[in-house]
Chains A and B, each alone.
Chain A
Amino acid sequence: MKNLKNEILKKKNTAFKSQSRTHYHLFPVFCAVLLLMVQSVFSQANESFSPVNNSSVINNKVAQNSADMQTLQADFVQEKHMDFLQMDIISKGKFWFRKENQLRWQYTNPYAYTIVINNGKISIDDEGRESEFNVDGNKIFEQVNNIIVTAVSGNIMDDNQYKTTVLENDNFYKIILNPKNSDVQQVIKEMQLFLGKSTLQIEQVKMIEPTDDYTLISFKNQIINEPISAGTFTLD
């Protein structure tokens, strides 16, 4: 009986040791796979880009895609990079867009802040404090409004407010927008839109300021042309 117990214990120990050994063997493989996954996610938009051969075809495709899109909603992660900060400031939220000019941009983390742009009016809910004003009367918001709507809608190819350059790699089209308007130039030196090649959906927006600081917004869970209720574009 004692021998049997010892044998069972021995087998358990051997099994445990062999399991542990198996884990140790798998660990580098697991790390390598994880590294590859992380790299593939983060490097997609950073791979080197080259000019597209036939930019007019791309222009037409993007313009058609933008024309077909009536609504868009997505989650976003925003990373603010500043040269004097060692760590980027990260905020998260969700947005809803409906043509022509209706937008709800809602931050949920690390603070609650909602900006609604609806037919020339801007409404803000700043942690319960609501305010409303016209875009026209506020130069800063007029510029910001223009930038957000342009970035989200992707309606840029025939926009005479920007000088446009189209680049590509295996996975993305990178559209570089340089503002022509001097007011916008003061705020944004360059805007880079990353569109998935197969979907032509906007995946990332990078807004580079005159100081070379930038804001990188990555979109996830995009839903296109699903009806969005009118109430989404009010604060009530």
Chain B
Amino acid sequence: MNRFLPALLLLISVYSCSPLVNMQKTNRVVPALAPVIPFGPDTRIIYRASINISDKQLSGLFIFRQAPDHDFGYVSFISELGIEFLRLRLQDGELHTEYAMEALNRKIILNALGNFLLVLLDDFDSSHTSVYKQKSDGAWIVVEKQALLQWEFWSMNEKNNPETISYYKGKKPSFILHLQYKKKGEVPHIIVFNHQRLPFHITLKKIQ
């Protein structure tokens, strides 16, 4: 019994930290969740980006691209003038930094950007378990990450598109995404990222 006590205490403490603790589980079937920005052969999506880090303003274009003959994709952030600030490679559900301009090459910035992008790009089937729960003020899809102390709350609209995604580490949200759509079945037209612990905000507006 003593052998299992630490594990039991850890489980209780993890569960008590979870933001899911006050939510009621239902028996409804979980609808299939597609990534917010699905990567596949010949993906080419371009957003206008406005990034504010500690009151420093950066703007440019966010490019999501997978070539037809590749099984990995790239996310690149370039200035309007075409100078590349950042390039990340998405492969097997992980983001790898290929290039980062010195000013952006900080662990805290890359981690926050990486988490933000993985929430948009991640394929749920392989790395997540999901549970449907009901709140009194509306329907929630609760996506519980396999890693300890990480949760994503997806608030779906009537067309089954996520409108708000809250990313939790512990009881307080780390960041919140607000998504707006022009048409059903399309990627979001506007994505707003607000970090809750860092002065870090991103607004993406689709142009292509």
Contact = CB atoms under 8 A, between A and B. Distances in A.
A115 B59 CA distance: 11
Nearest to A80: B82
B202 interface: no
Given A111-B48, A140-B101, A140-B103, A85 B82 contact: no
A110 B208 contact: yes
Contacts of A110: 207-208
A82 B80 CA distance: 14
Given A82-B76, A84-B67, A140-B58, A211 B99 contact: yes
Interface in A202-236: 207, 209, 211, 213-215
Interface stretch (A24-32, A124-132, A159-167): A124-132
Interface in A46-85: 78, 80, 82, 84-85
Given A115-B80, A129-B50, A207-B82, A85 B44 contact: yes
A107 interface: yes
A138 B48 CA distance: 21
B121 interface: no
Nearest to A210: B99
Contact of B83 (A85, A107, A215): A215
Contacts of A131: 57
Nearest to A88: B82
Contacts, number: 76
B151 interface: no
| Size category of the binding interface on chain B | 20 to 34
B76 A188 contact: no
A41 to B, nearest CB: 22
B65 A186 contact: no
B99 A78 contact: no
Interface string B79-90: 111111101000
B74 interface: yes
Contact of B82 (A78, A87, A138): A78
Nearest to A114: B80
A200 interface: no
Contacts of B44: 85-87
A186 B101 contact: yes
A5 interface: no
B81 A215 contact: yes
Contact of A187 (B74, B76, B101): B101
B56 interface: yes
B90 to A, nearest CB: 12
A111 B103 CA distance: 25
A89 interface: yes
B156 to A, nearest CB: 29
B82 A84 contact: no
The 4 lowest CB-CB distance pairs between A and B, nearest first, are A215-B82, A80-B82, A131-B57, A84-B74
